[in-house]
Structure 1
Amino acid sequence: MEPTISIPPGWQYPRFGFGQRTEVGQVIGLKYYEEDTYLANEYGAGWRYILLLDKHGEDEEHRTEDEIKLLSPQELKATLEAEINNHQRQIQSLKHQLDAIPAIVLAANSTVVETTQASYPSLHDLVDAGKFILKKIAKHPDYLTLEYQPDLTIGDADTALSYLEVELEPPENSR
């Protein structure tokens, strides 16, 4: 059975729905200020929308229907294609990490490691793999017991890779 939302009699139907993408962000919530209530008298009757500005953040904005504009079909297409490309890069990175598992075990158990791969993985994949390895090092029990306090920390290295990752992204206005 599909989940449904019932709108009480006398309320207007909302113009926008959950998940829709707007110029400000994605609709993640709705509130209704009914006529002849304190909130409606104070702020105006009707729907208020809660928009998530960035899916990687916690900032949200509350807007009225008149303050919201959906992305144009071209903007929506470009946004979705960029998200698809990002997910495909993440998938490729995970595949490289998965492919590297036997090589890591082989390298740990032998003194000579031969590389037969002629082409390099993408820089995105290498950055993702580097960040993955840094996280594993930071959580490793042997590392945690060290009283190691270098001038540059694993967090600094992770930040540097994050900056590199941002540099690799296409400019916002090229969408």
Structure 2
Amino acid sequence: MEATISIPPVWQYPRFGFGQRTERGQIIGMKYYAEDTYLADEYGAGWRYILLPNKNTEDDETRIEDDIKLLSAQELKTVLETEINSYLRQIQMLKHELNAVGVSVVVANSTVEESTQPPYPPLHDLVDAGKFILKEIAKHPDYLTLGYQPDLTIGDAETALSYLELELEPSQSLALDIAD
């Protein structure tokens, strides 16, 4: 279920949204000074945006809509590519640390594959763990209050795991053939 935000009909709609990147930072919050209020009389009615210029500090700044300018497509592309490259460097450093302690890692979509694989737990154990987790989810109070009604239910997932469990069992027909 996707979260929704209701804006009173007498308020104007904001021009910008959460998470958008501007020349002054990323929008992390919004507040509205409604007409005929003290704040609107003092500072002007309308939306104020809370920006985070640097994700590594707690300093934020508030700007009015007219002071906000979104990044151009090229600027946004450059910022995102820089962030991606930074994360890729962090991943490489972490993989290097793991290799130093003798643990191997396989990363999806990675062009580099490690030669050794970690030992996998038995599939029966994973199926049992999956069934347990599904039961815990089904009775969790947060899940129960969601009113979540997907096309495939937790019961469907449990049934799929039961079928997988049956596939893992030695075939009964083979056992009968051997007995004859």
Find the aligned partners of 1:92 and 1:31 in 2 and give their Cα distance: 40
1:57 aligns to what SS in structure 2?
Answer: coil
Amino acid at match of 1:102: G
TM-score (norm 2): 0.56
Once the 2 structures are TM-superposed, how far is the Cα of residue 55 of structure 1 from its aligned partner? 0.3
Q: Identify the residue that residue 30 of structure 2 maps to in structure 1.
A: 30
Amino acid at match of 2:16: F
| % identity of equivalent residues | 73
Measured on the aligned residues, the alpha-carbon RMSD in Å equals: 1.0
1:52 maps onto 2:52 in alignment: yes
Q: Identify the residue that residue 62 of structure 2 maps to in structure 1.
A: 62
Find the aligned partners of 1:9 and 1:80 in 2 and give their Cα distance: 35
Q: Identify the residue that residue 43 of structure 1 maps to in structure 2.
A: 43
Once the 2 structures are TM-superposed, how far is the Cα of residue 34 of structure 1 from its aligned partner? 0.3
Find the aligned partners of 1:36 and 1:55 in 2 and give their Cα distance: 35
Comparing both chains, which one has the higher relative contact order based on Cα–Cα distances under 8 Å and sequence gaps of 6 or more? 1
Count of aligned pairs between the two proteins: 103
Matches within 5 A, 1:1-175: 1-102=1-102
Q: Identify the residue that residue 162 of structure 1 maps to in structure 2.
A: none
- Runs of 4+ aligned residues of structure 1 deviating over 4 Å after TM superposition are none
Once the 2 structures are TM-superposed, how far is the Cα of residue 47 of structure 1 from its aligned partner? 0.2
Find the aligned partners of 1:39 and 1:30 in 2 and give their Cα distance: 15
- Unmatched 5+ residue regions in structure 2? 104-180
Amino acid at match of 2:11: W
2:18 aligns to what SS in structure 1?
Answer: coil
Find the aligned partners of 1:43 and 1:67 in 2 and give their Cα distance: 14
Once the 2 structures are TM-superposed, how far is the Cα of residue 102 of structure 1 from its aligned partner? 2.6
